[in-house]
Structures are given as structure tokens and as C-alpha cells.
Amino acid sequence: MAVKPVVLWFRRDLRLNDNPALNQAAATGRPILPVFILDRDPDRPAGAASLWWLDKSLRALDVSLQERGARLILRRGDSLIQLRSLIEETGADAVFMNRLFEPAAFARDAEIAHELKSDGVECRGFNGSLLARPGAVLNGSDAPYRVFTPFMKALLASAEPPPHTTGPRRIETPAEVASEAMDDWALHPTRPDWSKGFDWTPGEAGAAAALSDFLARGAKTYAADRDRPGLPSTSRLSPHLHWGEISPWRAAQRAREAASAAEAAKFVSELGWRDFSAHLLHHFPTIVDRAFRPEYESMPWRNDPEGLEAWKRGRTGYPLVDSGMRQLWTTGWMHNRVRMVAASFLVKHLLIDWREGEAWFWDTLVDADLASNVQNWQWVAGSGADAAPYFRIFNPIGQGEKFDADGAYVRRWVPELRRLPDRWLHAPWTAPAEVLRDAGLRLGKDYPRPILDHAQARARALDALKTVSGRD
């Protein structure tokens, strides 16, 4: 009787190195059927920028598989139905996968495993995406942590970095298995193609290159410079990590080898925030669209379609906020410091519901990640588990002067302001008329006047926050 193949079900683990499901499938010595199924994400359908990325990452994975003698089989539709038909066509009797930990995906996968087992198919899941799987890091009462610092301490004390693996050199795969064509999925935008400014190389090789680049440059001064958006000082690994093109442990270990202990520790701690977000969403599934702190559900949000639109388009009149929103629209990514300032502007200055901003980020970020996005938005809004205190309202002028003092970031993304001297760059409306004239800037024409007054908006936000949290 012919040896039965193992189905290797790729999802958000689009790599061959450090891939536990692939390693375990290879260890069986049986032929491997690598498949990706384009199914509706049970937690929330992927945004447009995510699909842009997926298109390229799957093509890159297919090339890597072909170099090893295999290829990626593409299927579309309900995951269980597609897996069953693949099993029926090929005689496979096992499905190996790396787990997804978002609540609905986790439950869906458990259901699939149950169904397949009842068909007599072995189903095995592994953790390839997080430093520690949810449930592995609990406090003394066996409950999930709600505060980051003790969570991270416990994670580092207990989690064992897996050894680096490069995957099998040859992957034996059955020859004739039907696959859909990537082009038919039309994941790349057309009419219009809004991705022309996307300067990314999706795929495992792109992830490795981004990490090497970071270790050669930004990692050396990461702790001090990671907050300066005008510098290339962070890794830009977030979309690669989201799609599993690199394992977080691999990124952590390489940073530990290449950077000083202090810089590496800071970087690993940021990776820890990614894990913390995933653990929180896994354990507290309602935070996907409900405040972690229930009292924040009564926040008196404003309905302000014009304010929301100005924010999305980068036309608030606050240069740091507008730079971030334009960087997001143009490249599919925004620097972390600016994400905090832009999100705070929406939630606190404009008093617009954090879910509106979260949805916009979800659609436009190439690194859109349900757990990280929700957790960070709730952190900014003050409603999250380990959130910023309610009275923390980022000052978009002060943040610009502090973190973009030389204006490199704002001048890049808001070129209308490039001739304005540093002194007025982050608050152009305060510049004397002759300074504006010399800079060739007509406020209200070339660049908007501020859509609100910072001090008034701050006071309004504090009043609103006091009513919900009962603080005085």
C-alpha cells in the first residue's frame, strides 16, 4: 500500500525555517501536501492591506517550496470542506498545522480537528507564532496576567527558546494535485492600485533581510532611538511576524547574539507586548469590540464624520498626526510612537470611539493583527487591561517637538511644510505671517488650519473621561 501523505496546512506561518508543523511532518518521513486555503477569517475578515501582503507572501512561499521539490496547493472556501476533499483526493490521513490563537479561529480549528478525527484523520497543532502559547503563562492563581511587566517576567522565566531549524532540504510531495491559480484570487488591488508606495518585500527572505538590516543598524541604539519616527531605528518586522514569515524566537535570539544585552532586552520586551496582546485576546475574547474595563462602555463618544475623515486623510492641521496618517495610507505602516499620538488624537481630542480608528487601521495596516491592534487601541483609550492612565492625553505638538525635533519625519510626509523652520514646524498656525510667507505656506489652502484647539480638546476629553470612570 502506498505511503499516505501528511497535509501541511499553512495559515499564518508562511515560512520553512523554524516551522514546527513542517518539521514534525517531515519527521514522519511521509510525503507532504503543503496547502493554503483562502477562507473567511472567523474572527474578522482580513483588511485590504493584509490581502496585498498575503498575495506576495504566498507567491514567495511557493517559490521556496519549489526550490525544495514541492509546491503550494491553493484552495478556496470552507476550510473543513477543502481539507476533506484534499484528503479524499490524495489518501492523506494526517493534517499538521501551526495554531492560530484568536478566539474564533481557535474554536473553529478545534471543531475541524474533532471532525477530522472522527473521519480517522490524525490532526496535530503546534505553536509557531508566539514566544509562549496562551495558557502557558499564568499567575500564581492559574489566571491570566492583566499587567504586562509580571507577564513578561514569567514568560522569560518559563519559556524555552526552541533550537533554530532550517526545514528539510527536500520536500517529497505527491505530483498531481489540483490547485487554484494565485492570479485568480485577485488579492492585489487594481482600479485603483493604492499600493504603489508600499515599500515591502513580503516572504521569508524579506523577513530575514529586514532582521539583518535592523541588526546592522537600528538595533545598536534601539532603546534610545525607537521613539524617533524620522530614523530607521525599528525592525519593521511586524507584518513579517504577523504572517509568520519569521518566528519571534528567531528574531529574539538573533537580537541577543548581535546587539548589546540592554538593546536586545528592549527589543525582546516589545516582542513580549505582541505575545501579551495575543494572550489577552485569547483569554478575554470580548475585548475584540468591548472595553476590557466595562465602565468605559459608557464613554460619551462624539459622532463627528468630518473629524473622522480629516483624521483618516491626514488633514487635521496637526503635523505629527497628519504625517502618521499619510505614512499609513502611502506605505501601509506607521511608526509606533506616531500610532500612539494619532490614536490618542482620535480618541481623546476628537472623542471618537476607538473602534472607528481600530477599523481604519485594520483595513490599512500591512501588519494589521487583531490582538495587537485591539490591545493597543484600548491601551490608548484607557479602557485596556494594562492601559495608559485616563489623564494621559498625548500632546501632538509636544510629541512632535520631542521625538521629531529636526522635523525629518514631518517634512517627509507633509511636504507642504518642508520650508517651515523647525521652531514652528509642529504648530504652523503659531508662525508669524512673514515666516509663513517665506516658507511659501498659505494656511487653510496649502495645509489645513488645526481642526480643533489642543487645550480645549484636552479639557473636553478630561471632562468626558471623568464622567465614565467616576474619578474626580
Between 31 and 332, name the residue whose CB sits nearer to ligand FAD: 332
Contact criterion met (CB below 8 Å) for 93 and 32: no
**362 a catalytic residue:** no
Residue found by looking up cell 483569554 in the block: 283
* Contact stretch for ligand FAD (CB under 6 A) within 123-131, 364-372, 389-397, 435-443: 364-372
378 binds ligand FAD (CB under 6 A): no
Please report whether residue 383 would count as binding ligand FAD according to CB under 6 A: no
CA dihedral of 11, 16, 20, 23, whole degrees rounded to 10:
130
Binding flag, residue 270, ligand FAD (CB under 6 A): yes
53, 200, 249, 273: the catalytic one is 273
Stretch that binds ligand FAD, among 50-58, 315-323, 332-340, 402-410 (CB under 6 A): 332-340
Residue 75 or 337: the one with the smaller Cβ distance to ligand FAD is 337
Instruction: For the CB of residue 274, give the shortest distance to ligand FAD in the complex, in Å.
Output: 4
Structural contact between residues 216 and 209, judged by C-beta atoms closer than 8 angstroms: no
CB of 154 to ligand FAD, least distance (A): 18
Residue 228 binds ligand FAD (CB under 6 A): no
The CA distance from 58 to 63, in Å, is 9
345 is in an annotated binding site: no
**CA distances for 283 relative to 137, 244, 274, 322, angstroms:** 11, 21, 14, 35
Alpha-carbon gap, residue 246 to 357, rounded angstroms: 28
Residue 184 annotated as part of some ligand binding site: no
Residue from 17, 98, 238, 247 binding ligand FAD (CB under 6 A): 238
Q: Is 346 known as a binding-site position?
A: no
Between the alpha carbon of residue 249 and those of residues 12, 128, 153, 218, 254, the distances in Å are 16, 9, 16, 19, 8
End-to-end CA distance of the chain: 76
Rounded to 5 degrees, what are φ and ψ at 365?
Answer: -80, 135
Among 56, 75, 108, 236, contact with ligand FAD (rule: CB under 6 A) = 236
Q: Is 101 assigned a ligand-binding role in the annotation?
A: no
Task: Give the C-alpha separation, 212 to 206, whole Å.
Answer: 10
CB 167 → ligand FAD: shortest distance, Å? 22
Q: How far apart are CA 347 and CA 145, in angstroms?
A: 26
Residue 329 falls in the annotated catalytic set: no
Q: Quick check: 12 and 242 in contact, CB under 8 A?
A: yes
- Is position 236 annotated in a ligand binding site? yes
From residue 272 to residue 301, the character string flagging contacts with ligand FAD as x (rule: CB under 6 A) and all else as - is: -xx--x------------------------
Q: Which alpha helices (DSSP H) does 162-314 contain, by range? A: 182-185, 204-216, 222-225, 238-242, 248-258, 261-283, 305-313
Q: What's the closest the beta carbon of residue 157 comes to ligand FAD, in angstroms?
A: 20
Stretch of residues binding ligand FAD (CB under 6 A), selected from 28-36, 42-50, 376-384, 446-454: 376-384
Sheet of 94-98: strands edge to edge?
73-76, 32-38, 6-10, 94-98, 122-126
Residue type, 393: I
Burial 414-426 (b: 16+ CB within 10 A, else e): bebbeebeeebbb
C-beta neighbour count of 211 within 10 angstroms: 21
Annotated binding residue at 286? no
| 354 included as an active-site residue | yes
* CA distances (Å), origin 344, targets 66, 391, 452: 46, 11, 14
- Cell 508606495 -> residue: 197
Out of 185, 194, 301, 429, which one is annotated catalytic?
301
Whether residue 336 lies in the annotated active site: yes
Ligand-binding annotation for 368, yes or no, is yes
One of 105, 131, 259, 380 touching ligand FAD (CB under 6 A): 380
Q: Kindly tell me which residue out of 320, 365, 465, 468 binds ligand FAD, with binding defined by CB under 6 A.
A: 365
Point out which span in 115-123, 177-185, 269-277, 294-302 binds ligand FAD (CB under 6 A). 269-277
Whether 200 is catalytic is no
Name residue 10's beta-bridge partners. 36
Given the complex with ligand FAD, which of 75 and 348 has the nearer CB atom? 348
Does 367 help bind ligand FAD (rule: CB under 6 A)?
yes
Catalytic site residue 301? Answer: yes
What are the residue numbers of the active site?
270, 273, 301, 336, 354, 377
Annotated binding site for FAD: 222, 234-238, 267, 367-369
Annotated binding site: 222, 234-238, 267, 367-369
Site residues (vs ligand FAD, CB under 6 A): 226, 234-238, 241-242, 270-271, 273-274, 277, 336, 339-340, 343, 361, 365, 367-369, 372-373, 376-377, 380
